[in-house]
Amino acid sequence: TKRYKIGDFGLIKGKKNGTDPDMEGDGDCRYLAPEVLNSPSTPQSDMYSLGMTIIHLATGVDPPKHVQQRKTFTLPSNYTPDFRNLLQKMIDPDPSKRPTAKDLLRHPLLIPNAISPRFHREVIEENELLRKEVADLKERLRSLTKAMEEK
């Protein structure tokens, strides 16, 4: 059985230059942040790589090979809004807009039993609708009761 591990998103330099015989694996440029092609990797570029890895795990499809294709990459519409929001932030072409690891851990999607603000708003709106329906039903019941008493 093969076991896979996600580790440093570098290009596994130790194996390629022969300095680390215990290192096994291959790097894949499809997961690299666009800026890494011209400069060293950073925590922001690792966040991009993690985002592309999550997309691959969620879809079963490899990320696009070419940077230009990745810039116009759109997430599947069947993802939940929170999941889409998280991934869009992680693969933002602008490294300064990507979340930090701390930001990622605070995202509503990753907090156990967290309820997003959108969920609260939806519940409040639904509750308001139900209150109006109950008020309407009470008014109809009063009218019917009054009509029956008058007969």
Model confidence pLDDT, tens digit, residues 70-109 = 566 677 788 888 888 899 899 998 999 999 999 988 887 8
Every domain of the chain and the residues it spans:
1-111, 115-151
Q: What is the pTM of this model?
A: 0.59
Provide the percentage of residues in the chain whose pLDDT is more than 90.
13
CATH among 3.50.50.60, 1.10.510.10, 2.60.40.420, 1.10.760.10 for 1-111: 1.10.510.10
**Residue 136 corresponds to which tokens in the numbers above?**
């309407």
Instruction: List % helix, strand, coil for the chain (3-state, nearest 5).
Output: 60, 0, 40
Q: Which amino acid is at 2?
A: K
Residue found by looking up tokens 């990622």 in the block: 104
Given a cut of 50, the residues of the chain with pLDDT beneath it are 12, 14-25
Q: DSSP letter at 112?
A: T
